Chain A
Amino acid sequence: MIKKLTLGLMFFATSSLFAEPAITAIKVSNSIDLSKTKPNDAIWSRAKSSTIICYPQTTIKFNDKKANELNAQNKAKAANISAIYNANSLAFKITWNDGTQNIQLPQKSDTYGDGVAVQFAQKFDDPKKLPYIGMGSKDREVLIYLQKAVEKYFEPNKDIEHQVSRDNTNAFGNDLKKYDAAVKALAINEYHKVFVGEGFRSMTQVRSDYGKLGMDMSYKGGKWSAVFTKPMSDEYVDISKVGAIPASFALWDGDKLGRDGLKYLSSWVAVKFQGKKGGDALVDELTSEPTGDVQAGEAQVKAMCASCHRFADQNAAPAAMGPALYNIGGYSTSAYLAESIKEPNAVVVPGYNRNAHKNFSWYSVDDNGTRTTTMPPMMSDDKSIADAVAYLKTLKAEVEK
């Protein structure tokens, strides 16, 4: 069985299936206000869609027993993504299959909405040093647009009068109708949020009106379609002067109690602006195939990494010792993998709350909050690193049919 699997992997390694696709953003007229675009607008027929694979996040495991059971056998999900842009904005349309439409309900404690997100890198001039895929990393910040299927919800507010349950008012008849209308007016209709992050747990919501516009999602015939629109230039990320940008995508399945890190995520994907120059290095970096020898890499990685990391059939490492690598090949770039092997301190993933697994700290923190990883540099010669990366890139779940 194992032999067959390895052969299969070798076959893939030599085929072009490893090459990651890019997304081409099609130029549209500046007179169109893209922030008002809906998923079913005719304009999307002009865009070209690419299939991007989102892999189950398995780097860290959460503590919701039911959710863990439901997500134990997750396969990867394919999303069809297209993009359009003009001088003012860039818009993505993301479509994916989801057999169940899940909406978070305002009277239940255990319902979760389906959701989708786009992540932008704040800096991407060096395509080999993109932010960590899981919500950025120190000094490599990301901007995240997130929308979820929720029924109306309420931000905490000071309007005490309308916080009382309708049955606890003394109103009835028309007065009760008025009360209901006032409550409805106070509610927020959509879960459309923008966050800035520099690693797990650090995500902080941008609370200005920024990003409130330009998100929408709709469900039809077993498929979700969502739209995100980002201004070409804003105080967080300026994408107006480049030919290509990195973006990554995430999906949540409410049916499997998905929320937060319990999601499917893509690697950084190159988005080319049709008709704009530049960004070739970025596109090359994100679309190229690993060149190393998978088999040699596998032998090395299994020998050197399995005592701290879990991956493939290697489950000997204590559960919380280091990031689990089961799907690392799906959502990491080759450059990130190489960097982490050579220079583990370049990106120290914040991982679990340090209180949750005290005996297995995968990093230490000094008084200034600087994290130092427990992992020593593993390899230094380029050949070994390239081989290891080639193997690590094969670590990913198969795609759901």
Chain B
Amino acid sequence: MSKRQLAMVMDLNKCIGCQTCTVACKTQWTNRNGREYMYWNNVETYPGTGYPKKWMDLGGGFDAAGDLQEGIIPNIEADYGVPWDYSYDSLATFDYTAGNEKAGLRPTSEPTWGPNWDEDEGTGNFPSDNYFFYIPRICNHCTNPGCLSACPRDAIFKRDQDGVVLVDLDRCQGYRYCIAGCPYKKIYFNPKISKSEKCILCFPRIEQGLPPACAQQCVGRIRFVGFLDDEESQVHKLVHKYKVALPLRSDYGTQPNVYYVPPTEAPAKFDAEGKVIEGSQRVPTEELEALFGKDVHTAIKILKDEKEKRAKTGESELMDLLIAYHHSDMFRLDNNYYQEFAKESGKSLLAPIDERYSSGKNTKEITHFKVHA
């Protein structure tokens, strides 16, 4: 466990599946050098196949006794989906006079699968009882990370100052046990550099007091970021004070630090005549319980009660929080905290290096990977 823990809360009632977060992350971190297929932030339709395909069935995490479970390492083509491109080169060199069957503009790889292949499909019969909602997923920066526990090289570490889970790329040798160990499949293998990479919670932004790019750019303003132990932070209020934000699949035992306000605001079901069935629940509560655990029932009740209170009295701190008026309230990162921490510990900011092995104890010379000339 780290000294302090950063957390993110996502309000699923407000996610519109626009993927702005996904793009914000991709353009910042994963659009090059073997990361093209990775989505450190993805937004998947639930119920659906998810990303990577059927990730909830791929093992990892811990059993009730606390033992790390075996897992499966997904395949890029079949499970994540290869990002295909259309090649300018094929167009430029195409012989238009030769009577070719296929036109010059061809995908670099045949598209057979990709993230969000089943976007917005959901389940049920339209319009009577169909439903779906979006689950945006990033690394949970778990308190008990499965990825870290599985690493046979001590290459993954959890920062003491904020609980961010990072891979020391210098130590990582690309063994991929971390991928098997993460029940959320939120750590990825970069085949081009043969190392594992994952969401870094935008720590270079966070250390400057800025929220992660996905949260900053979120169109639905569904994301709150702050320290869990900071009673003034909205994440603290949503998680601990009101208890309406719950971790996803906490049964995996990794103690995730991304919390979700469950989707409660679906329209009611329709009967055969197309009339509203009063009091009906379009999104089955059992589904929500499977995702967010038993506490989802109290969370739903609190949300409904507060909504009603707000409607009657015009007052509810919780509803005000969830309306998300100001970024300055939603994100509490406290810039100075990091500066002070750096000063006190004598560590430099922006150094994602695991200090356990950097003292040169085992090797006479430790230089971290150099620009390869």
Chain A to chain B: the 10 pairs with minimum beta-carbon distance, closest first: A167-B85, A163-B33, A356-B68, A65-B70, A163-B32, A356-B149, A355-B149, A172-B89, A172-B92, A196-B362
- Chain B residues in 8 Å Cβ range of A236: 364
Q: Are A205 and B363 in contact (CB under 8 A)?
A: yes
In the bound assembly, the distance between CA atoms of A66 and B1 in angstroms comes to 30
Kindly report which residue of chain A lies nearest to residue B170, judged by CB atoms.
A205
Interface set of B (CB-CB < 8 Å, partner A): 31-34, 36, 59-60, 65-76, 80, 85-89, 91-93, 108, 144-145, 148-154, 169-171, 173-177, 179-181, 188-189, 191-195, 357, 362-372
Q: Are A196 and B192 in contact (CB under 8 A)?
A: no
Q: Are A260 and B152 in contact (CB under 8 A)?
A: yes
**In A51-107, which residues have CB < 8 Å from any B CB?**
62-66, 68, 104-107
Q: Are A109 and B154 in contact (CB under 8 A)?
A: no
| A–B complex contacts, Cβ < 8 Å, 7 sampled | A65-B71, A171-B88, A204-B363, A208-B367, A259-B176, A356-B149, A357-B68
Q: Are B80 and A260 in contact (CB under 8 A)?
A: no
Q: Are A153 and B194 in contact (CB under 8 A)?
A: yes
Q: Are A63 and B70 in contact (CB under 8 A)?
A: yes
Q: A145-173: contact bitstring with B at CB < 8 Å (1 yes, 0 no)?
A: 00000100111111110011101101111
Q: Are B66 and A260 in contact (CB under 8 A)?
A: no
- Chain B residues in 8 Å Cβ range of A198: 362
Interface set of A (CB-CB < 8 Å, partner B): 62-66, 68, 104-110, 141, 150, 153-160, 163-165, 167-168, 170-173, 176, 186, 188, 191, 196-198, 200-208, 235-236, 259-261, 319-320, 352-353, 355-360
| Residue among A64, A186, A359 making CB contact with B73, cutoff 8 Å | A64
| Residue among A168, A170, A171, A260 making CB contact with B85, cutoff 8 Å | A168
Interface centre among B75, B88, B170 (most CB of A within 10 A): B88
Q: Are B93 and A204 in contact (CB under 8 A)?
A: no
Minimum CB–CB distance for A63 against chain B, Å:
5
Q: Are B192 and A106 in contact (CB under 8 A)?
A: yes
In the bound assembly, the distance between CA atoms of A182 and B59 in angstroms comes to 40
Kindly report which residue of chain B lies nearest to residue A259, judged by CB atoms.
B175
Q: Are A106 and B191 in contact (CB under 8 A)?
A: yes
| Residue among A109, A200, A205 making CB contact with B191, cutoff 8 Å | A109
Kindly report which residue of chain B lies nearest to residue A64, judged by CB atoms.
B180
| Residue among A201, A207, A359 making CB contact with B65, cutoff 8 Å | A359
Interface centre among A168, A203, A206, A356 (most CB of B within 10 A): A356
| Residue among B68, B73, B366, B368 making CB contact with A66, cutoff 8 Å | B73
Minimum CB–CB distance for B366 against chain A, Å:
7
In the bound assembly, the distance between CA atoms of A203 and B363 in angstroms comes to 9
Known contacts A109-B74, A188-B372; A63 and B189 CB within 8 A of each other:
no
Q: Are A353 and B149 in contact (CB under 8 A)?
A: yes
Kindly report which residue of chain B lies nearest to residue A113, judged by CB atoms.
B194
Kindly report which residue of chain B lies nearest to residue A104, judged by CB atoms.
B194
Minimum CB–CB distance for A341 against chain B, Å:
26
Known contacts A107-B76, A153-B192, A201-B153; A159 and B148 CB within 8 A of each other:
no
Minimum CB–CB distance for A321 against chain B, Å:
11
Q: Are B363 and A196 in contact (CB under 8 A)?
A: yes
Q: Are B75 and A109 in contact (CB under 8 A)?
A: yes
Minimum CB–CB distance for B79 against chain A, Å:
8
Kindly report which residue of chain B lies nearest to residue A160, judged by CB atoms.
B32
Given contacts A153-B192, A207-B369, 16 further A-B contacts (CB under 8 A): A63-B180, A106-B192, A108-B75, A109-B179, A153-B193, A155-B369, A156-B169, A156-B193, A173-B89, A176-B89, A201-B154, A205-B171, A207-B368, A357-B67, A358-B66, A359-B66
In the bound assembly, the distance between CA atoms of A207 and B366 in angstroms comes to 6
- Chain A residues in 8 Å Cβ range of B32: 160, 163-165, 168
| Residue among A141, A153, A173 making CB contact with B362, cutoff 8 Å | A141
In the bound assembly, the distance between CA atoms of A62 and B71 in angstroms comes to 10
Kindly report which residue of chain B lies nearest to residue A203, judged by CB atoms.
B153
Minimum CB–CB distance for B69 against chain A, Å:
7
Minimum CB–CB distance for A103 against chain B, Å:
12
- Chain B residues in 8 Å Cβ range of A235: 364
In the bound assembly, the distance between CA atoms of A148 and B153 in angstroms comes to 17
- Chain B residues in 8 Å Cβ range of A188: 372
- Chain B residues in 8 Å Cβ range of A205: 170-171, 363
| Residue among A109, A163, A172 making CB contact with B88, cutoff 8 Å | A172
Q: Are A109 and B80 in contact (CB under 8 A)?
A: yes
Known contacts A108-B191, A153-B194; A353 and B150 CB within 8 A of each other:
yes
Interface centre among A104, A165, A261 (most CB of B within 10 A): A165
In the bound assembly, the distance between CA atoms of A108 and B75 in angstroms comes to 7
In the bound assembly, the distance between CA atoms of A173 and B174 in angstroms comes to 34
